[in-house]
Chains A and B, each alone.
Chain A
Amino acid sequence: MSEEMFPEPEWLSEEVKTGTTIIAVTFDGGVVLGSDSRVSAGESVVNRVMNKLSPLHDKIYCALSGSAADAQTIAEIVNYQLDVHSIEVEDDPLVCSAATLVKNISYKYKEELSAHLIVAGWDRKKGGQVYATLNGLLSRQPFAIGGSGSFYIHGFVDAEYRKNMTKRESQEFVVNALTLAMGRDGSSGGVAYVVTIDKDGAEEKCILGNELPRFFDQ
């Protein structure tokens, strides 16, 4: 009777997930990636400032969502594989190569893993690119959203995305999308991390909660 009255807290037995909202957008000359910073285990937030934008190479980043352990491991493995590859070809790797490496792992172990990575970056051959690698597919897209919070902003990004935005507009678009998703999704929140990648390199920025844009709050 007593163990039923006071059950063990859920989060001790829950897998740690990055609930998450992630987004990546191309603009003319590069890409902008964005993510929230909440990691949850059941109903408990175990990390409120996690940076889910993980570098795979100098000008290639990936955004993590799903199981925190799975996503981090995939990112680390691909980081290593890309380093080896770039030494072999004596040049910066292509974004497509990074995305293919991620896709290969996601597809081969799709039954065991539950992580969705969005790969985005800049290379000399094709400029800014965004690849979605959900469940082992590989799809190049003008922009991609992922994570549990992304459901709430499908309508917003469909309506507001325009081709050939400037760097500034893309950054605003990403921050607005993240803010709206964090406002509605219980598993997303904290601060917003934004990474802008162009031919000159990658620039990381962290936007605190009180600096995020405000929308009409019902």
Chain B
Amino acid sequence: MATALQFPANVSTLNNYNDLYPDWTQREVSTGTTIMAVEFDGGVVIGADSRTTTGAYIANRVTDKLTPIHDRIFCCRSGSAADTQAIADAVTYQLGFHSIELDEAPLIQTAASLFRDMCYRYREELMAGIIVAGWDKRRGGQVYTVPVGGMMTRQPVSVGGSGSSYIYGYVDSNYKTGMTKEECLKFTAEALTLAMERDGSSGGVVRLAVISEQGVERQVILGNQLPKFSTV
């Protein structure tokens, strides 16, 4: 693992990475999670696993990582549980205030920008990877990802958390533009199941939510109801 020597900031350190593990596992804190969000025509589908770990102990096996920020704006939290809860609370307050001033529903991009501002400003102290998703009147369903470090970008489909690396291949191969709501739900549930099978820090139940003009529908898929694959 990484040595404890101090190098001046502009000299590249010798990479001591064990070639069996990708480099980034040494930099990212795995408080474990798999989160995902997909846009469809008319809204978004978001999903997350339900495991919170402190080391090897599962502190909460039925966590709700899909946090409402406003009526039709949710965020999926990954990284440090404390940091993401604090950020989400702060943004909920700011967005609520902004929405009252505007006298109309806030835009998803506004919510994502607020997350980004906070994650970027305090990037040294925070460890938070957040996916912001929802529906607004101007642009319909949108997914914005704000990973560790504080960049923000809009993507049609986004995955995050320690379990996400195992499903990049699956998501790349199975995502198609123009999917219906039901197809997105199935796609998200399957991807999360595959990640939960492979990532020790993700597990429990799959929580899903659909956000559209009509509102928010939430569902839970229990462990024994998860989709089954031939090798798992």
Q: Is B168 an interface residue (CB 8 A)?
A: yes
Contact of A155 with B176 in the complex, beta carbons under 8 Å: no
Segment from A99-107, A176-184, A189-197 that makes contact with B? A176-184
Interface string of B136-168 (1 = CB under 8 A from A): 000000000000000000011100000001111
| B177–A66 touching, CB < 8 Å | no
CA A166 to CA B228, docked complex, whole Å: 22
Residue interface bits B1-42, CB-to-A below 8 A is 1, else 0: 000000010111011001111100000000000000000000
| Residues of B close to A151: CB separation below 8 A | 22, 165-166
Nearest CB of chain A from residue B192's CB, rounded to whole Å: 10
Task: List the A side residues contacting B156 at CB < 8 Å.
Answer: 218
Size bin of chain A's contact surface: 35 or more
Q: B175–A180 contact, CB under 8 A?
A: no
Known contacts A7-B11, A10-B12, A116-B20: does B231 contact A158 (CB below 8 Å)? yes
With an 8 A cutoff between CB atoms, is B222 at the interface?
A: no
**How far, in Å, is A174 (CB) from chain B's closest CB?**
13
Q: Which residues of B contact A210 (CB under 8 A)?
A: none
Look across to chain B and name the residue whose beta carbon is closest to the beta carbon of A185.
Answer: B22
CB <8 Å contact, B176 and A184 = no
Task: Report which residue of B157, B167, B169, B170 has the largest number of chain A beta carbons within 10 angstroms of its beta carbon.
Answer: B169
Which DSSP category, helix, strand, loop or mixed, fits chain B's interface? loop
Q: How far is the CA of A176 from the CA of B172 in the complex (A)?
A: 11
CA distance A193 to B14 in the complex (A): 31
| A126 contacts B by Cβ under 8 Å | no
Task: State the Cβ distance, B44 to closest chain A Cβ, in Å.
Answer: 15
In chain B, what residue has the closest Cβ to A134? B20
Q: Are B15's CB and A155's CB within 8 A?
A: no
Give Cα A159–Cα B191 distance, bound, in whole angstroms.
9
How distant is the Cα of A180 from the Cα of B181 in the complex, in angstroms? 25
User: With an 8 A cutoff between CB atoms, is A200 at the interface?
Assistant: no
A184 to B173, CA, bound (A): 12
- The CA-CA distance from A182 to B155 in the complex, in Å, is 20
The listed residue (A148, A156, A218) touching B170 by CB distance below 8 A is A156
Q: Which of A114, A156, A161, A216 contacts B176 (CB 8 A)?
A: A216
Residues of chain A lying within 8 A (CB to CB) of residue B230: 161-163
Interface size on B, residues (CB 8 A): 37
In this complex, which of B156, B171, B177 has the most chain A Cβ atoms within 10 angstroms of its Cβ? B171
Task: Check if A152 sits within 8 Å of B169, measured CB to CB.
Answer: yes
The contact of A148 among B22, B168, B169, B174, by CB within 8 Å, is: B22
Given the known inter-chain contacts A4-B8, A142-B231, please indicate yes or no for A184 contacting B168, CB distance below 8 A: yes
**Cα(A126)–Cα(B44), bound, Å:** 50
A187: nearest residue on chain B (CB-CB)?
Answer: B22
Interface flag for B49 (CB, 8 Å): no
Closest to A218 in B: B155
Please tell me if A67 contacts chain B, counting CB pairs below 8 Å.
Answer: yes
Known A-B contacts A158-B229, A218-B155; A152 and B168 likewise in contact (beta carbons under 8 Å)? yes
- Beyond A161-B231, A180-B169, A185-B22, 15 additional contacts (C-beta under 8 Å) are A66-B19, A114-B19, A114-B20, A148-B21, A151-B165, A154-B169, A155-B166, A155-B167, A155-B194, A156-B170, A156-B173, A158-B232, A162-B230, A163-B230, A180-B168
A-B contact pairs, 27 of them (CB 8 A): A4-B10, A10-B14, A10-B15, A42-B15, A66-B19, A114-B18, A114-B20, A116-B20, A135-B20, A148-B22, A151-B165, A152-B168, A154-B169, A154-B198, A156-B170, A158-B170, A158-B231, A161-B231, A180-B169, A180-B172, A184-B172, A215-B172, A216-B172, A216-B176, A216-B177, A217-B172, A218-B156
